[in-house]
Structure 1
Amino acid sequence: MKRLKIFLGLTALMFLAGQQVQAQFYDKGMFTLGYNMGLTTGSANNFIGEGSFRNFSVEGAGFVKGGFAIGARIGYDNFFEDYGRGTWSNGEGSDITANKYNYLNTMNLQATFSYYFNRGGVIQPYVGMGIGTAFVEKRTEYGMMYDGASTSNSWNFSMTPEAGVYIPFGVESDWGATLRVQYNHIFFNDVDVNGINYLNFGVGITHRF
């Protein structure tokens, strides 16, 4: 609940920032609410191999010149896997028989830099990069009462290259859909995870202003 309140508060700040971006650049900008399907890769996939449908993002940007836009994004990604009941090493020199659950939650706060091709067209492809920091919560739970020793919470540098397309709902419409693929890399290291990497396949509702 606390993380949800933080996410909603940052969302409100993002909306205000988007309005400020518009005032600063004296040009059109955009505000996007995104929903993403996530898939871990690399060592993060060894920790959690299940895909996630609990990923959301909020972002705003303003066009500086031509198709080049600068903005900010907040992204929340939640990964979970139930390994079932078994006998597991608890990382403290002993074993425990219980259900094992792995969790990996990230909150990305990034500045974004994007370039839109064919701006004003029916289909507007774009490429972009997000750079910033991410809060990572990684933990393992055994049963209902036991927290594993491999619990880690920290802020880490993050980068997110992406490519996608913006499709207006009409020639004169201020609303449209954004489809994209993002590759998230968080510079996080732990005993069993060397770098958190995951793909997001996203769809968003975009408002141009």
Structure 2
Amino acid sequence: MKTRLLFSVIISLFVLQGFGQRSFTSLNYSIGFPAGDLKDFAGNTSGRGVTLDYAFYVKNNVSVGLGIGLQTFYEEKGYQSFTNGTQTLSGNMFNYVNALPFYINGAYYFGDSATIKPYIGVGLGTMYVKKRYDIGVFEVDESGWAFLVKPEIGLQYKATSYLGVNASFRYNYATDVDDVGSMSYTSLLIGLVWYH
């Protein structure tokens, strides 16, 4: 399943490249801020995230594309007791969450400036979530797939004809996943944009 999905994303990038010179790729560092069930499980702000987006312009001020990301969260909970089924474990607890969103997105760019482009966008897709408890030497994993909606507001600055900078703020809303909960988070992204 994962191999097919990765293969589909790679093929899609090559197909989309055929639309010509009006496209861009952005690689962003992501700082994640947990919300909802995720905040209860691992409430620390996370500086461990990355996104890769590819888009092409269908009009001067409208782009469509796809993307993938990875955001990890971690929190030390101290000495806890955890019950799973008929077993109770006690020890120092560490909670981890890995969120891997896959999405298609669209954006609308404001103004006519060739260098500074504020924008709003929305993405739809899926997010794979892996949630892990570590208690002493024991580990409990739960995972699942969720539907993802990703509104975004941002700014692109085109420094040269081939290179720019991106800054944006996203809310990654993921629906409730069986045994995992709703693993939604906001993220602040800062990165580079390559125009091709």
TM-score normalised by length of structure 1: 0.83
Q: 1:195 matched to which residue of 2? A: 182
Equivalence map 1:110-189=2 (5 Å): 110-144=103-137, 146-148=138-140, 151-170=141-160, 173-189=161-177
Q: Secondary structure at the match of 1:43?
A: helix
The corresponding residue for 1:78 is: 72
Conserved? CA contact 2:146–2:176, under 8 Å: yes
What SS is found at the alignment partner of 2:176?
strand
* Contact 1:67/1:117, CA 8 A, preserved across alignment: yes
The residue that corresponds to 2:24 in the other structure is 30
Percent identical residues: 26
Q: How far 1:190 sits from its partner (Å)?
A: 4.7
TM-score (normalizing by structure 2): 0.88
Contact 2:99 2:130 in 1 (8 A): yes
CA RMSD of aligned residues (A): 2.4
Consecutive unaligned residues in structure 2, runs of 5 or more: none
Q: Residues 18 and 31 of structure 1 are in contact (CA less than 8 Å); yes or no, is this contact kept in structure 2? A: no
- Per the TM alignment, residue 17 of structure 1 is displaced from its structure 2 partner at its CA by 3.9
State the secondary structure of the residue aligned to 1:50: coil
SS in 2 for 1:195: coil
**Residues of 2 paired with 1:207 and 1:140: CA distance?**
39
Deviations 1:54-78 (A, max 9, x none): 1111110000112111100001111
Secondary structure in 2 aligned to 1:52? Answer: coil
The SS at the match of 1:20 is: helix
Distance in 1, Cα, partners of 2:80 & 2:98:
25
Runs of 4+ in 1 over 6 A off after TM superposition: none
Gap regions ≥5 residues in structure 1? none
Judged with a 3 Å threshold, the aligned counterparts in structure 2 of structure 1 residues 136 and 87 are, in CA distance, closer, same or farther, namely closer
**SS of the residue aligned with 2:184?**
strand
Q: Equivalents in 1 of 2:89, 2:15: separation in Å?
A: 54
From 58, 64, 74, give the equivalent of 1:64: 58
For 1:185 and 1:100, how far apart are their aligned partners in 2?
A: 26
Q: Hey, what does 1:90 align to over in structure 2?
A: 83
